[in-house]
A and B are shown apart, each in its own frame.
Chain A
Amino acid sequence: NAGVMQNPRHLVRRRGQEARLRCSPMKGHSHVYWYRQLPEEGLKFMVYLQKENIIDESGMPKERFSAEFPKEGPSILRIQQVVRGDSAAYFCASSPLPTGMGELFFGEGSRLTVL
């Protein structure tokens, strides 16, 4: 049973470009979460999605960031017009139940570097 798959593992963008990070949850998991980890920090919640629905985006910056989890295909975290402060590791996690009732299964993360 494959784990949570994230790609790309590493992404380099120049300021003003767009970054797209993809996440395929574990088989049978319909709950997807995106977390961001800044250097020397713990993970911070960004958004929680179920298929075709955004359930909670309270941790997402209001501008430039968006997320989707279409009926078919992986979940996408999209960052438009990236700035240096967006440089971080972005982790996707999935679960068979909403968080708090079960554990999260994390991917290996996507490290975004903005030049």
Chain B
Amino acid sequence: AQTVTQSQPEMSVQEAETVTLSCTYDTSESDYYLFWYKQPPSRQMILVIRQEAYKQQNATENRFSVNFQKAAKSFSLKISDSQLGDAAMYFCAYGSGAGSYQLTFGKGTKLSVIP
């Protein structure tokens, strides 16, 4: 079974600075997808960024980018120019390739942004 580990329960960053959230996963599959979801205090899960394992290029979405290291099974999220609205729980998630229906989530990292 796949597992997702987020080793940082809490992180903090100064407004306008850069922060990196860590995620590692364990799988024997070669075809899969990785996601970062944001859960603000409103509790709704919002997709931040998505990476297909077969793509070597790291995904980027405005101020959010990932460092995907397939051999190391690492998928970290970098937030640049942090804003107060970035404060939230961030969850890393793993999805198998076609034929599987479940996302496996890590336990999350609580990010605080200091004004």
Contact = CB atoms under 8 A, between A and B. Distances in A.
What range describes how many residues of A lie at the interface? 20 to 34
Interface residues of B, number: 28
B61 to A, nearest CB: 12
Given A89-B43, A106-B44, A109-B44, A48 B105 contact: no
A17 to B, nearest CB: 23
A41 B9 CA distance: 11
B5 to A, nearest CB: 11
Contact of A42 (B44, B47, B98, B105): B105
A15 to B, nearest CB: 24
A108 B47 contact: no
A69 interface: no
A98 B101 CA distance: 6
Interface of A: 31, 33, 35, 40-45, 48, 55-56, 58-59, 89, 91, 93, 98-101, 103-109, 111
